[in-house]
């Protein structure tokens, strides 16, 4: 494990937030980590494989080895104690129901409890809960959407600084740099790169708190979309 770096500073002289990514080995998690590192920010995350840890270390990311499914609240609190923001980007992706229960629901619950009494922000990468209502879903997908909704409800009841981002269907196409972001958006597709760009902008926009944002492909530049949301809907 590498040691956390001295906090980078923005051109304004304000220290940049230190970010811990749960799910840093995932596709969105990796894209977000590399965007934040490119800004000189201190980024750390939880991994469960030494191979992933080595790749992250080479990218300047501090990694902590652990099994999210088993990490208790106190262990998680210790992991994130040096961080100003936790981004939760882990999950089953509508796969095995036991992983959905263990990661998307229970582990998120423990992460949110670990942040009680702190000023640490928690940004959840969630999903549009009514996605694909017009088509038949597998039992795993039905279970996933129900669990994601329940986990969101539980998070919104936590006395912490939470933020929920609900993207539409994720693709690996090149990012466009433009999106549709608001309190309600249609379900279509969005690239993982654009999702990472929105998460990066939200990390840098602390005034958006205790809100649910929906995200789809669209015509507005990412920073403008996040800035608009901050102006219109900030707490």
Ligand X SMILES: NC(=O)c1ccc[n+]([C@@H]2O[C@H](COP(=O)([O-])OP(=O)(O)OC[C@H]3O[C@@H](n4cnc5c(N)ncnc54)[C@H](OP(=O)(O)O)[C@@H]3O)[C@@H](O)[C@H]2O)c1
Q: Which is nearer to ligand X, 77 or 199 (CB)?
A: 199
Q: Which is nearer to ligand X, 28 or 155 (CB)?
A: 28
Residue whose token pair is 């980590």:
33
Name the residues that contact ligand X, by CB under 6 A. Answer: 23, 25-29, 48, 68-69, 89-93, 99, 103, 125, 127, 167, 169-170, 192
* In the complex, minimum distance from the CB of residue 10 to ligand X, in angstroms, rounded to a whole number: 27
Residue 166's nearest CA partner among 176, 177, 156 is: 156
Q: How large is the angle between the packed helices 27-38 and 192-203, nearest 10 degrees?
A: 50
Least distance from ligand X to the Cβ atom of residue 178, Å: 18
Residue with the shortest CB distance to ligand X? 26
Strands (E) in 53-167, as ranges, are: 62-65, 85-88, 121-125, 161-167
DSSP state for residue 17 in the 8-state scheme: P
Nearer to ligand X, 84 or 104 (CB): 104
Q: CA-CA distance, 219 to 96, in Å (whole number)?
A: 35
In the complex, least distance from residue 171 CB atom to ligand X, rounded to whole angstroms: 8
Q: CA-CA distances (angstroms) from residue 31 to 6, 60, 78?
A: 22, 14, 25
Query: What is the smallest separation between the CB atom of 169 and ligand X, expressed in angstroms?
Result: 4
Residue among 16 and 145 whose Cβ is closer to ligand X: 145
């Amino acid at each position: 494990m590498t040691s956390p770096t001295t906090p980078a500073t923005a051109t304004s002289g304000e220290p940049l937030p230190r970010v811990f990514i749960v799910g840093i080995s995932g596709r969105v998690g990796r894209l977000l980590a590399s965007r934040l590192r490119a800004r000189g920010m201190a980024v750390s995350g939880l991994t469960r494989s030494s191979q992933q840890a080595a790749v992250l270390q080479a990218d300047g990311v501090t990694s902590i080895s652990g099994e999210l499914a088993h990490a208790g609240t106190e262990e998680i609190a210790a992991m994130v104690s040096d961080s100003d923001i936790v981004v939760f980007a882990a999950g089953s992706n509508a796969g095995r129901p036991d992983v959905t229960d263990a990661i998307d629901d229970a582990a998120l619950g423990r992460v949110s409890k670990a942040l009680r009494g702190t000023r640490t922000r928690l940004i959840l990468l969630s999903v549009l809960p009514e996605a694909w209502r017009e088509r038949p879903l597998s039992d795993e997908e039905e279970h996933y959407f129900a669990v994601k909704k329940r986990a969101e409800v539980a998070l919104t009841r936590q006395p912490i600084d939470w933020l929920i981002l609900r993207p539409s269907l994720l693709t690996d196409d090149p990012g466009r740099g433009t999106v549709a972001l608001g309190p309600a958006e249609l379900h279509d597709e969005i690239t993982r790169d654009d999702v990472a760009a929105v998460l990066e902008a939200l990390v840098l926009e602390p005034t958006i708190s205790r809100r649910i944002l929906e995200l789809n492909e669209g015509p507005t530049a990412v920073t403008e979309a996040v800035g608009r949301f901050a102006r219109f809907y900030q707490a």
